[in-house]
Structure 1
Amino acid sequence: MSNGPAGHVAPSMVCPNCETSRRAPMRTFLHTADGVSINSVYEPGPVVYDSSAPPSRDLAFVVAHGFTGDVDRPHVRRVAAALARHAAVVTFSFRGHGASGGRSTVGDREVLDLDAAVAWARELGHTRVATVGFSMGGSVVLRHAALHRGVDAVVSVSSPARWYYRGTAPMRRVHWLVTRPEGRLVGRWGLRTRIHHRDWNPVPLSPTEAAGRIAPTPLLIVHGDRDGYFPLDHPRMLAKAAGDHAELWLEPGMGHAENAAADELLARIGDWVVSRAG
């Protein structure tokens, strides 16, 4: 596989709108604007044999995983497989995760990783791109849409609304993992996640502030009523900031992020994106 000068696969390699385009996934390393290599996978989506089929072949989902995930984790692959029933899917590992380069900044510089993945989807010929993020990735898709624009729909699942939240035991463990040297060692060797030791400077735009800047791009906020990390005031803050252009789904019995997202929910998310993204 040959890469372009920015680390993207050349558009001529894939024809996603062609009925005979190859169906096997493609892998490459993208390169972000600040020079980090990002392990990425492209799945062409469902085979379409006639022109009367629903017009989803020009659409691509770009999936942003949660903290300590990566492109090869089973829960990320399950999300990709579910969304690939609707359209093409780009998945990738955030910096510091899995085989990607760099170190995790826990949602700050990760907007550049997502931007590289969105650009790759465009280079592959997709005229509509929707971002779908989970937990940390849910905050990244909000900030990306606010700061970089260029997407046609945004889905944020299990996202925090504000930074430095420590109100639940799982989030206190996350803060220990990120802020303490021994926690970062656990992240590196136990969770395949290399975490940057520096504090944010400046503090990034908060998810709530970002949600207020996304209009008119369609926005879906999804949150479980049994989320052990972020209680329901988080999605409600995001929805209030986003205003009338956003939809809020509070899912009964759902926990946190990808592992808690049932196949039925992922199918509904896919249907929502297909109907809203242009």
Structure 2
Amino acid sequence: MGSAGTGAEGIAGERRRLINVAYRLLGSVTEAEDAVQDAYARWYGLPRSRQEEILSPGAWLTTVTGRICLDVLGSARARRERYAGAWLPEPLPDRTEWDRAGGAEPAGRADPADQIVLDESVTMAFLVVLETMTPAERVAFVLHDVFRYPFAEIAGVLRRTPAACKQLAASARRRVSAARAPVPAATGQADVVRQVKEAWETKDIAALVGLLNPAAVMTADGGGIVGTALRPVEGGARIARYMVAIADKAPGLELLERSVNGAPGLVARRAGVVLTVASFDVADGRITRIWVVRNPHKLRPWARED
């Protein structure tokens, strides 16, 4: 886990990997950054003699970051019970695509969101499944199945035996399988999302119903800050009517086809300000799940500077 050496440059070089681990564990860029910052603060708080005793600072930082994330996950249940409506992970843009399309780099130091590798382990569908796991399951699964760390080292993070960590990862794996493990987005999903955009723009309820699985579910996250459905909207027909009703209330809204967490999605903005980011899960050519994030605190990576 990590690399050897205590040089400042080597230690700083671990940040990207740690941010990637922490985001997958927490589903929040802000919380991931805080966890990594805390781990670094603890490292620099060690006496120099203690730092020199640590053979692999990268492994030490990973262990500490993992434990911090474990604590955060342990307290998340209570915090999310107080959250207004559904809680969804923070969506991420493809920075290269977003910049080319007219977005702008944040001012100041690099945004931690830019350091996150967008692959199948950060799709919204996958992150939502991770939310169903216990904190220990999530840590064991992410570290082993996503980042390929051995159970002997994960045991140090969880303070459990390697055998217990292996059982936790196996339990998490069953949850993923039961939820129909998401696969990397393909051209087919992009085509479906494009058709949804066109039907939404023309307020074509019949076309939307045809694109939605009859048992589709739409979950929205406004964080109690902006208006949105507080409970999941279930059923393709109901979702289609809801989408058209929203379109009627949102004149001047611009819909963009953009990658969201590495998969085809839609971004809605007005006057250059991103108001909504939508992710989709598609099966057999029809949408089965829609995740809509409207909480402005979770849309900071999508901010533009004019």
Give the TM-score range, shorter chain: under 0.3
Task: Tell me which of the two structures has the higher relative contact order, counting C-alpha pairs closer than 8 angstroms and 6 or more residues apart.
Answer: 2
Q: By percentage of residues, which structure has more helix? A: 2
Q: Rg larger in 1 or in 2?
A: 2
